[in-house]
Amino acid sequence: MHNARMPNVDAGPLNALILHLYRDGREVPLGSFQAWAVEQLRSLVDFDSAWWGNATAHPPALHEVFLHNCDESIVDAYPPFVDGDFFRAALVASPGISVNMSDLTTRARYVRTALYRQLGRRFRIEWSLGTLVIEPTSSLYEFLTLWRHDRKRPFSETERQTKELLMPHLVEIHRAVRLRHFLRVPGVFNREWAVADARGFLREASPAFISRVSALWPGWRGSALPEPLLASLRTGRAYVSPELALDVASCGHLRYLSARSDGALAQLSAREGEVATRYAQGETYSAIAASLSLSPATVRNHIAHCFRKLGVNNKAELVRRLADKA
């Protein structure tokens, strides 16, 4: 129904803000970007508080959330109300379309809901204006909802249209800032890399990374990393196997995974690399032999060859060598 309305947004200030976001936003550090962008939005749409974050649909769950002028306890207080949140349901039903609470219900009806009585009143959410989009890489919902604390000041249709026009640009410049942060190393664009959140959902990834992971785990589907990579993500340690070596670096709630183009495993055969990796991870000769259908003597020979090739003398040195990029 919104699309049938005649737009009445002043294009001049809107275009000026969009240009400002792209030109100046590129220089804002990743950790400060959302706070900065929300402040810029105030020049066109006035609001008192806001939240901007990511969520999954099934099961409904909030991921990382940035809060503006709102108590952090809302993150824990909100989940019990997800199923009864009519505003969230409207956002999910219309990705890319900004939703104005005043178009969904009257204030008299809203204040009678459990959502208002137990949550809205506590956090002074009198009116909401939100937009939800679906991230192409992760399929997560990315949302930005603005709140007003004055019950006499609902958002207008002009403000709704303005936010709808701005939301794709906010999301895209946020993505550009994120990519700039992680891909600032020269030459990294030609490597296998990915950015994931702390739960293991991919936020960005190179085609080469997707191709490699799909080849190594043929049954892998969706946006969450395969379980072996999730284990490395949680510990912050490199993932090392005969087929793939990935370094893991943390940046706040995000993790950067980048493949090693060389390193110790490149000096070993595939079988030697597999044996060396298992041995470095604590498996015994007998366990490795049973798993790979080899004799314990053959495993010992492989380990001896690995020691010679890598210039190490004991297991501790082997562990350090396999974790070394050089």
Residue with tokens 């020049």: 43
Which residues lie below 8 Å from residue 3, measured CB to CB, with a gap of 6+? none
- Structure-token pair, residue 274: 């597999």
- Structure-token pair, residue 167: 């939301």
Per-residue buried b or exposed e for 225-253, using 16+ beta carbons within 10 Å of the residue's own CB? bbeebeebbeeeebbbebebbbbbeeeee
Compute φ and ψ for 125, nearest 5 degrees.
-95, 95
- Whether 10 has a pLDDT exceeding 70, the answer reads yes
Compute φ and ψ for 51, nearest 5 degrees.
-135, 145
Domains in the chain, CATH or no CATH each: 2-182 (3.30.450.80), 188-259 (3.30.450.20), 264-323 (1.10.10.10)
* Nearest of 154, 145, 159 to residue 91 by alpha carbon: 145
* Residue 153 · residue 172 · CB < 8 Å: no
Beta partners for residue 66, in sequence order: 52
Cis peptide, bond prior to residue 168, ω within 30 of zero: no
Q: What is the pLDDT of residues 235-248, one digit of tens each?
A: 888 888 877 888 89
Q: What is the pLDDT of residues 33-82, one digit of tens each?
A: 999 999 999 999 999 999 999 998 878 888 889 999 999 999 999 999 99
* Residue 309 · residue 268 · CB < 8 Å: yes
Query: Mean pLDDT for the chain?
Result: 88
* Residue 144 · residue 170 · CB < 8 Å: yes
Q: For residue 2, what pLDDT is reported?
A: 54
Residue with tokens 């178009």: 103
* Residue 198 · residue 230 · CB < 8 Å: no
The model's pTM: 0.72
Number of helices followed by number of strands (H, E) in the chain: 15, 10
Distance, in Å, from the CA atom of 162 to the CA atom of 130, rounded to the nearest integer, reads: 11
- Structure-token pair, residue 173: 């410049």
Max CA-CA distance within the chain?
A: 81
- Cα 89 to chain centroid distance, Å, stands at 22
Which amino acid makes up residue 124?
R
* Residue 145 · residue 160 · CB < 8 Å: no
pLDDT tier, 263 (very low <50, low <70, confident <90, very high otherwise): low
Q: What is the pLDDT of residues 133-158, one digit of tens each?
A: 998 888 889 999 999 999 999 999 99
